[in-house]
Amino acid sequence: MAELEALQASLPGFEDLGATLVGICPQLPEHSAELKARLGLTFELLHDAGNRTADAYGLALDTPPEVVEVERRLGLDLPTFNGTRDWRLPMPASVCVDRGGVIRSMVAQTDHTLRPEPEATIERLRSGLQT
């Protein structure tokens, strides 16, 4: 969970801009609660049950059968972990929404091994606030 730790380390940068950061994940809340405590996160993690909010933002993806098989071999039982019957997942994404409710930046990754740098998100937030 390198990304969440990096976000925690950069949290003052978000707060300086008056921004509120949250993590969003389809896993059951008990897993997010454990993660939050283990990493000492001071921002909240929200439970996106069934990826409904990810769907609304165009971020939910299906997992093809051959990938499901690999994930199972790696020991992941996603439906149990998420309390769902499917293997859908969100694309990792960073979304900045202004006070008026308009999306000012959207960075979605199809390669789950990549993430936006927190400092780059802060920079996008800063430039979005000026427009």
Partner 1 sequence: MALSDTLEEIRNAFEAGATPREDIRILDAHVEFLSASGAAEQALPEGTVAPEFAMPATTGATVTLSDLRAGGPAVLVWFRGNW
Using CB under 8 A, which residues numbered 86 to 105 contact partner 1? 89-99, 101-105
Which residue's CB is nearer to partner 1, number 86 or number 129?
A: 129
Q: Does 123 bind partner 1 (CB under 8 A)?
A: no
Write the binding mask 43 to 82 for partner 1: x where contact by CB under 8 A, - elsewhere.
-xxxxxx--xxx-xxxx-x--x-xx-xx--xx-x-x--xx
Residues in contact with partner 1, total (CB under 8 A)?
Answer: 81
How many Cα atoms occupy the beta-carbon half-sphere of 45 within 13 Å? 23
Instruction: For residues 115 and 92, give the distance between their C-alpha atoms in angstroms, rounded to a whole number.
Output: 7
Instruction: For residues 46 and 93, give the distance between their C-alpha atoms in angstroms, rounded to a whole number.
Output: 14
